[in-house]
Amino acid sequence: MIRHLTLLLLWANPGTAQVLTLPGNALLEAELATPSDSYALPTGAWDGIEVPSQIVEGDVTTQVWRIPADGLATLQLLRPLRDQVRQAGYDVMFDCDTDDCGGFDFRFGTEVAPPPEMLVNLADFRFLSATRRTDGGVQGIGILISSTPQAGYVQIIRVAPSGIAPAPTGTQAPAVSSPQPVSGGLSAALDGTGHAVLDGVTFATGATSLSGGDVPSLAALAAYMTANPTLTVAIVGHTDSDGNLDANIDLSRQRAAAVRDRLIADHGVSADRLTAAGMGYLSPVASNLTPDGRAANRRVEAVVTGPID
């Protein structure tokens, strides 16, 4: 059963707030409030040229939430939020699933917070937009949901006319950062963000066997798991954008499995505390247009997936 956390997302009438609930293990990854701004609220699927949209003006708040849990379905996350939006008196303008949205073109044709805070799986995302008219003007909300094998991601962008809905407390969430190399900092990275790049994990081009020699980051991860015996961790492989998606997902999955096997065989980590998954090029942390960017995207990460029940 999913536990719920009450989030006060400020809507509509002055002095009131609509309660919106997310799973109780939801973690606020990023928050930004910009007064007197505008948002191009998508109202339809990519039409071959652009994403149709309605400009909504007012105080704009963007939040990104991560729900660390294996196997979450995007519909599982969207359905209760959609129901709550309707209960708040909003009219749903557009509600779509991946291909119906326009796939790749829709994702890059609308406003999305950058990774690693917001990760969008191009093969699995949903979007919903809704508006409500008040005496002060139009209020809008856009909800983008995606999932990876290890977590669900929820981006909520809401707009209210200035003076109608007060700004949220604080304009910035607690600082978050990109996955950090683990040399001297694995514990801090995993404690702070729940994920870290495994520095020094290398593979020959196209190879799935981990290069020989000691890898300090794996020893550090094993030590971290020993010190936190109730945690489970996913090893997640990533590639650059060279090649087709299916081949890259398979390659990244096999590389993650090789790292998992090394942790079990050489460092004594229990097999039931480790899973392996591959994202291919779906979760870049840098541009694939430069050699340095592609090198940064070719990585293996450790992701804390939760405690052992």
For residue 70, the domain's CATH number is 3.40.1000
- 298 in any annotated domain: yes
Give mean pLDDT, residues 147-155.
85
Query: With 90 as the cut, is the pLDDT of residue 234 above it?
Result: no
What distance in Å separates the CA atoms of residue 253 and residue 169, rounded to the nearest whole number? 41
Question: What range does the domain containing 62 cover?
Answer: 4-160
- 166 in any annotated domain: no
Q: How many CB atoms lie within 10 A of CB 308?
A: 10
Q: Which tens digits make up the pLDDT trace of 161-201?
A: 876 643 332 222 222 233 444 444 788 878 777 778 898 88
- 172 in any annotated domain: no
Per-residue tokens: 197: 């790049």
Q: Half-sphere exposure of 163 toward its Cβ, with a 13 Å CA cutoff? A: 4
- 281 in any annotated domain: yes
Give mean pLDDT, residues 224-229.
90
259 with 210: CB under 8 angstroms?
yes
Q: What is the dihedral of CA 128, 81, 158, 20, to 10 degrees?
A: 180
Per-residue tokens: 84: 């709550």
Q: Are residues 196 and 230 in the same domain?
A: yes
Q: Are residues 59 and 102 in the same domain?
A: yes
- Of 104, 96, 183, 185, the C-alpha closest to 142 is 96
Provide the number of structural domains found in the chain: 2
Q: Are residues 223 and 132 in the same domain?
A: no
- 178 in any annotated domain: no
Query: With 60 as the cut, is the pLDDT of residue 17 above it?
Result: no
- 169 in any annotated domain: no
- 107 in any annotated domain: yes
239 with 297: CB under 8 angstroms?
yes
Query: With 90 as the cut, is the pLDDT of residue 43 above it?
Result: yes
- 176 in any annotated domain: no
SS3 assignment, position 256: helix
218, amino acid identity: L
Higher confidence at residue 171 or residue 40?
A: 40
Read out DSSP for 15-74? T--EEEEEETT-EEEEEEEEEEEEEEEE-S---SS---EEEEEEEEEEEEEEEE-TT--H
What distance in Å separates the CA atoms of residue 281 and residue 217, rounded to the nearest whole number? 23
